[in-house]
Amino acid sequence: MTAVDRGAEGSAHHGGATQEGIPLVEAEPAAVGLIAGDPLMLGLPTFIVGSVALGLALIGAQVPVGSFGAGLAIIFAATTIGLFISAVWAIAVGQSAVASILGIFGGFWGSLVVLVVAVDHNWFAFATPAAAGAPASNISVGAIELFLITWMIIVGLYTLTMLRLPSAYTLILVLIFVALTFVLLGVSGASTSDLKVGGALVIAFAAVGMYVFAGQASVATGGKPIPLGRPIIK
pLDDT in tens, 206-229: 999 999 999 999 999 999 999 999
79 in a structural domain: yes
Task: Tell me the pLDDT band of 13, cut-offs 50, 70 and 90.
Answer: very low
8 in a structural domain: no
86 in a structural domain: yes
120 in a structural domain: yes
Q: Residue 86, exposed/middle/buried by CB under 10 A (0-12, 13-18, 19+)? A: buried
**Would you say residue 29 has pLDDT above 80?**
no
192 in a structural domain: yes
Single-letter amino acid code for the residue at 234: K
**Inter-residue contact 25 to 14 (CB < 8 Å):** yes
43 in a structural domain: yes
Task: Give pLDDT, residue 48.
Answer: 97
**Inter-residue contact 201 to 182 (CB < 8 Å):** yes
> Please, what's the largest Cα pairwise distance for the chain?
84
Task: Give pLDDT, residue 123.
Answer: 72
18 in a structural domain: no
Q: CB neighbours (10 Å) of residue 198? A: 27
**Would you say residue 122 has pLDDT above 50?**
yes
199 in a structural domain: yes
Q: Which residue has the higher pLDDT, 142 or 196?
A: 196
80-98 mean pLDDT: 95
pTM value is 0.81
The whole-chain average pLDDT of the chain stands at 83
14-23 mean pLDDT: 52
Residue positions counted in the chain? 234
Angstrom distance (rounded) from CA 202 to CA 15:
50
Considering its fold, how many domains does the chain have in total?
1
**Would you say residue 203 has pLDDT above 70?**
yes
pLDDT tens-digit profile of 181-201? 999 999 999 888 999 999 999
User: Which has the closest alpha carbon to 154: 113, 116, 100, 203?
Assistant: 100
Domain span at residue 154 reads 38-124+135-220
Angstrom distance (rounded) from CA 212 to CA 215:
5
Q: Which residue has the higher pLDDT, 132 or 71?
A: 71
For residue 60, give the 3-state DSSP assignment.
coil
User: DSSP state, 135?
Assistant: -
**Inter-residue contact 180 to 151 (CB < 8 Å):** yes
Angstrom distance (rounded) from CA 108 to CA 197:
20
